[in-house]
Structure 1
Amino acid sequence: MKGTVKKRGNTWTYIVDIGRDPITGKRRQKTKSGFPREKDADAALRKILTALDEDRFVDPSKESFSSYMEFWFTSHYQKRIKETTASSRKYLMDKHLIRENPFANKPLSKITTEDIDAFYNLKLDEEYSTSTIRKLHQLLNQAFGQAVKWKKISSNPVINADPPSVKKEEMKIWSFDEIDSFLNQCKGERHYLTFLLAIYTGMRKGELLGLKWSDIDFGKKSIRIQRSLSHIPNKGYLLSTPKTKKSKRQVPIPDSLVKELKAHKERQETQRKRLGEHYQDQDLVICTEIGTLQDPRNVLRVMKRISKAANVTSIRFHDIRHTHASILISEGVDIVRVAARLGHSDPTITLKNYAHLIPNQDDEVADIFHNAIQKSR
């Protein structure tokens, strides 16, 4: 790295080449003036040159936090995640980190851990969920971490910040009687199969609405989950690949569900013939009356209406998935198999959610250990 010291008026100035911008590739220089003596400017220059030689030098960024975030998001972050994830994260960033953020216009290099903690407390006061705040924490940590790598700042202020722990909502599930009441009330409805599939497979709402007939193997009695229906702002509902590798999976189904699927397929075929060219066949199992993608909001409205008529506990659609998993665990199915069926990326996620449902078998474990010792003698 090269540097020079020059006299400007009555004071001295150093000018040093600090390399190229890691993003734009443009040559960068740092200049500082106002030194009363030449040797003072020279000493300051040598300090910078040493830091540059040891790869320790950071030129504090003067750009605002908000302008950096927008650049980081579009040029780096969104290229590494799914489009559906990017759209939800973009909404979080625009709303909370730019429009409703006290330090949005503060220089990136001036933001402190105290600023970050105050931001989290502000969001808590505004009664945003702890889950939302943790997502904002993750975004901030990734953004500032990249700023360190790009040498825009010397350290990441988010590392020592203290986001709130996620408060888990109490899990609501249906009893066997409530499942029967709901399904009986639902018979004859267009979405009877939608809810039957949800209850018997534990599939996510998006996975159900993205299911195609080509994904169903009637001979092997299984469903291949290969895509999901997602909403992308300004584009609407689109089919996309599942968010994790484990989400792509095969789900075995019972004979009763195979029978219901075949009956549903026959009804759909009758509808297709009746509408002729007006039917837009997309091979979807769950679709509108003309064969197009089903808006999930309509499914939720139907669920709410039927739940009320059947006088069952009001739960979210996702709680049907919890109900499915809870029944399996209560019947003794091990966590690893439940995790595979649900498409969890890691069985520890399943264990974290449903550990309280696993039967207490401590006494049996004691006997098993004792018997093993006895056999070895």
Structure 2
Amino acid sequence: MTAPKRNKARANGEGTIYQRKDGRWEAAGYVLAANGTRKRVRVYGTTRKDAVDKLTEKIVDSNRGLPVATADSTLGDYLTYWLNSVAIHHLRENTQTRYATCIRLHLIPGLGTKKLSRLTARDVRTFLDRLRTTCQCCTHGLDEARRRCCAIDQCCGKLLSPLTLTYVHSVLKSALEHAVREDELPRNVARNVKTAAPRPRRFQPLTAAEARQFLAAVQEDRLHALYELALRTGLRKGELLGLRWEDLDLDGGTASIRRSLQRTRTKGLTSLPTKTRASERRIALPRDCIRSLNEHREHQEGEREAAGVGWKDNGVVFSTSTGGPLDPANLTRSFRGLLNQAGLRRIRFHDLRHSTATLLLEQGVDLVVIKELLGHAHIGVTAGVYAHVRLRLQRQAIDTLNDALGGAADYPDDPPTTAVVR
């Protein structure tokens, strides 16, 4: 009698591999978990090779000392694994720091003990509802040292803003989306929870008259070329500070935006790629900016001679008096002082960028041109941010047509055609 054919023996460390009743292949083996212990992990594939390849990848990472998430991990362990082993490879350092703060302050205290495989949409919704109504002073003991507010049973009701709540939700969705891609979860339960869209942040751009007043006030400032470039082109603060002389073609009247200067926690002031791929762009320089940049270069050469051997040649257009890069925080303080000197209301430096776009829209410049100048990734971003301006321009056009047709005189009882746009 012929003996039954035996299955091929598995290689050492290959784990358990078999075909399920539903036709899929399942592979299981032990790997290093996020909490430092060794746990059994299961992966699935449409073929035996798919399952083996997925398990092999996890075992290889485990043998290299990299923790691997498992379905029975707590959400806190998984978030730690995801942040330190996955997100770190595609996030900027400052973004990673914000993610880490969000996870440490909100997600781990609120959902950290939940099993990843047992997390439900209801858990996420309950967590977000509780976070929305919880005083942050009470939660984190912010007033204990000063013995004020919540520390003396006089709760101040310091709640998270809708924008922060949306950010917490988006970080959780991103982490769970990776768990789905790694076949740790069948679906992203956080995506099934809908949160109210936060109201757009209000900004107060300069009017044309205020912009002229500001430009007049900075004419004698050491960095007048920077402020003029900011208001006339809408460059971001980091893009202005990261600009190098090699990026400028003053004869051709163009500037290439390739990098952004940022302060990071570990490296201090450092030059990074632009915010998005669309942010890397070439823009046309206004004639006034070309003139002020030429004057600025002459002034910088004078500072170089005065500094002598103490000059730090970084090649940046806007530097300190000894050639070093300018700190973004110092620029913000100088900007506030110039606003006070000019007798203008207090705005953020970023509102100069909003002022550029708003003034261009009011002059009838096409939205596509503004999108390219500002370096937005999609025209929908430009249209969304400046929707209130476009609506105001529509209202003005309607009013102009209404006056031409004599509508206001003929129908005095009609409601007014002007409205407050928020």
Q: CA deviation at 1:362?
A: 7.3
Contact 2:31 2:40 survives alignment (8 Å): no
Match of 1:105 in 2: 113
Match of 1:256 in 2: 288
Between 176-185 and 329-338, report the one with greater CA deviation.
176-185
Task: Give the whole-Å Cα distance in 1 for the aligned partners of 2:309 and 2:175.
Answer: 51
Instruction: Evaluate the alpha carbon distance shift between residue 300 and residue 29 of structure 1 in structure 2; reply closer, same or farther with a 3 A threshold.
Output: closer
Instruction: Evaluate the alpha carbon distance shift between residue 22 and residue 304 of structure 1 in structure 2; reply closer, same or farther with a 3 A threshold.
Output: farther
Deviations, residues 262-320 of structure 1 (Å, cap 9, x unaligned): 11100100110111110101111111111111111111111112212322121111111
Match of 2:202 in 1: 170
Q: CA deviation at 1:343?
A: 0.2
Q: Choose the corresponding residue for 1:130, options 149, 157, 162.
A: 162
Alignment root-mean-square deviation, CA: 3.1
Match of 2:227 in 1: 195
Contact 2:278 2:377 survives alignment (8 Å): yes
- What does residue range 1-377 of structure 1 map to in structure 2 within 5 Å? 1=17, 18-20=26-28, 28=40, 61-98=71-108, 101-125=109-133, 126=135, 127-358=159-390, 359-360=393-394
Task: Give the whole-Å Cα distance in 2 for the aligned partners of 1:273 and 1:118.
Answer: 64
Task: Give the whole-Å Cα distance in 1 for the aligned partners of 2:126 and 2:99.
Answer: 21
Contact 2:39 2:70 survives alignment (8 Å): no
SS at match of 1:181: helix
Contact 1:18 1:29 survives alignment (8 Å): no
Contact 1:97 1:104 survives alignment (8 Å): yes
SS at match of 2:110: coil
Q: CA deviation at 1:18?
A: 5.0
Contact 1:133 1:164 survives alignment (8 Å): no
Paired residue type of 1:305: G
Q: CA deviation at 1:29?
A: 7.8
Deviations, residues 45-88 of structure 1 (Å, cap 9, x unaligned): xxxx9x999x9xxx983322111111112222221333443333
Instruction: Evaluate the alpha carbon distance shift between residue 260 and residue 21 of structure 1 in structure 2; reply closer, same or farther with a 3 A threshold.
Output: farther
Q: CA deviation at 1:355?
A: 2.7
Between 111-120 and 266-275, report the one with greater CA deviation.
111-120
Instruction: Evaluate the alpha carbon distance shift between residue 108 and residue 220 of structure 1 in structure 2; reply closer, same or farther with a 3 A threshold.
Output: same
Contact 1:242 1:248 survives alignment (8 Å): yes
Task: Give the whole-Å Cα distance in 1 for the aligned partners of 2:258 and 2:99.
Answer: 23
Task: Give the whole-Å Cα distance in 2 for the aligned partners of 1:186 and 1:158.
Answer: 49
Contact 2:206 2:352 survives alignment (8 Å): yes
Deviations, residues 150-208 of structure 1 (Å, cap 9, x unaligned): 33334322021122312112221111221222233323222322211110110000000
SS at match of 2:255: strand
Instruction: Evaluate the alpha carbon distance shift between residue 60 and residue 73 of structure 1 in structure 2; reply closer, same or farther with a 3 A threshold.
Output: closer
Gaps of 5+ in 2: 1-16, 20-24, 52-68, 136-158, 402-422
Q: TM-score, normalised by structure 2?
A: 0.71
Contact 1:280 1:290 survives alignment (8 Å): yes
Q: CA deviation at 1:349?
A: 0.7
Q: CA deviation at 1:27?
A: 9.4
Between 341-350 and 175-184, report the one with greater CA deviation.
175-184
Deviations, residues 295-353 of structure 1 (Å, cap 9, x unaligned): 11111111112212322121111111010001111111110000000000011111111
- Choose between structure 1 and 2 for higher RCO, CA contacts under 8 A separated by at least 6 residues: 1
Task: Give the whole-Å Cα distance in 2 for the aligned partners of 1:23 and 1:259.
Answer: 63
Moved over 4 A (4+): 21-30, 361-365
Between 109-118 and 232-241, report the one with greater CA deviation.
109-118
Contact 1:174 1:313 survives alignment (8 Å): no
Number of positions where the alignment pairs a residue of Structure 1 with one of Structure 2? 328
Paired residue type of 2:117: S
Q: CA deviation at 1:255?
A: 1.6
Match of 1:370 in 2: none
Paired residue type of 1:108: L
Q: CA deviation at 1:144?
A: 1.3
Contact 1:207 1:227 survives alignment (8 Å): yes
Task: Give the whole-Å Cα distance in 2 for the aligned partners of 1:181 and 1:21.
Answer: 70
Contact 2:224 2:292 survives alignment (8 Å): no
Task: Give the whole-Å Cα distance in 2 for the aligned partners of 1:245 and 1:196.
Answer: 25
Q: CA deviation at 1:234?
A: 2.2
Instruction: Evaluate the alpha carbon distance shift between residue 133 and residue 260 of structure 1 in structure 2; reply closer, same or farther with a 3 A threshold.
Output: same
Instruction: Evaluate the alpha carbon distance shift between residue 354 and residue 311 of structure 1 in structure 2; reply closer, same or farther with a 3 A threshold.
Output: same
Paired residue type of 1:198: A
